[in-house]
Amino acid sequence: MIKVSPSILAGDFAKLGEEVKMLENSGADMIHMDVMDGSFVPPITFGAQMVKTLREHTKLPLDVHLMIENPQNHIKDFADAGADIITYHAETIADNRAVISMIKELGVKVGVSIKPNTKLDEIMDIVDLCDMVLIMTVEPGYGGQELISETIEKVRLLRAHALHLDIQVDGGINDDTIAIALEAGANVIVAGSYIFGADDKKAQIEKLRG
Ligand code: DX5
Ligand code: ZN
């Protein structure tokens, strides 16, 4: 089953409560929240307080993408705030197993993500411990970029290895790129500018299901 996780990074930060309600009414399956720390990636967005605030505005799962250094220091805060899935970046951590256990013990689903230049080999030994793998299809940090087509090969390889794993793609998903992502085996689709850039959000979300 294809799940669509709109990224609120492309939304109006002055009214994110309304934005998530609107996405829920438009058929979104979860809400993708991009947490950036100004270190792992240049911009700073928001932290656990925003997760806690939006938790009160939707029943949809909150899909929290941590683009931060030392995620282990913040995971409990995000779990307590109401995150349903916490995805950290493999590049930020030496001991993946410890972080995965930490997230699971908090009763939250765990995702691991890799940047476009990080090889799948780096995480192959731990993907079976995760609920989801996020293959970044752009360099993390900004919405509205073009998908890097070489990243799709990682989706294909991973799908061949893990038939039932949730494989998420994030970055540059639009009318031109969705087909190739789905065909390679992605089943959790993040989209920011594609959804927020159109008047009919419901139609955009539906189109991402292939
Ligand atoms: C980028 C973020 C993405 C971003 C995607 O670092 O992880 O979630 O919002 O934006 P689009 O869909 O516009 O490429
Ligand atoms: Zn993201």
CB neighbour list of residue 157: distance below 8 Å, 6 or more residues apart: 120
pLDDT value for 196: 98
**How many angstroms is it from 191 CA to the middle of ligand 2?**
8
Phi, psi of 136 (to 5 degrees): -70, 130
**Nearest CA among 115, 147, 150, 148 for reference residue 133:** 115
DSSP secondary structure, 5-45, as one string: EEBGGGS-GGGHHHHHHHHHHTT-SSEEEEEEBSSSSS-B-
What are the average pLDDT values for consecutive 10-residue runs of the chain, which has 210 residues? 98 98 98 98 98 98 99 98 98 97 98 98 98 98 98 98 96 98 98 98 97
Active site residues: 34, 170
Q: Mutate which of 30, 31, 34 to test ligand 1's pocket (most atoms within 8 Å of Cβ)?
A: 34
- Closest-approaching ligand to the CA atom of 141: 1
- Closest-approaching ligand to the CA atom of 41: 1
Q: Mutate which of 13, 147, 188, 193 to test ligand 1's pocket (most atoms within 8 Å of Cβ)?
A: 193
Distance of CA 162 to the CA centre of its chain: 18
Nearest ligand 1 atom to alpha carbon 147:
14
User: Model confidence over 126-168: pLDDT tens digits?
Assistant: 999 999 999 999 999 999 999 999 999 999 999 999 999 999 9
Q: Which domain holds residue 168?
A: 3-207
Contact between 81 and 48 under an 8 Å Cβ cutoff? The reply is: yes
Contact between 110 and 133 under an 8 Å Cβ cutoff? The reply is: no
Contact between 182 and 200 under an 8 Å Cβ cutoff? The reply is: no
Does this model's pTM top 0.85? My answer is: yes
Task: Check if 186 has its Cβ closer than 6 Å to any atom of ligand 1.
Answer: no
pLDDT value for 126: 98
Check which CATH number belongs to the domain holding 142 and give it: 3.20.20.70
Task: Check if 172 has its Cβ closer than 6 Å to any atom of ligand 1.
Answer: yes
- Closest-approaching ligand to the CA atom of 6: 1
Contact between 86 and 107 under an 8 Å Cβ cutoff? The reply is: no
pLDDT value for 174: 98
pLDDT value for 17: 98
pLDDT value for 36: 98
Question: How does 95-120 read in b/e, with b if 16+ C-beta sit within 10 Å?
Answer: ebeebbebbeeeebbbbbbbbbebeb
Total count of domains within the chain? 1
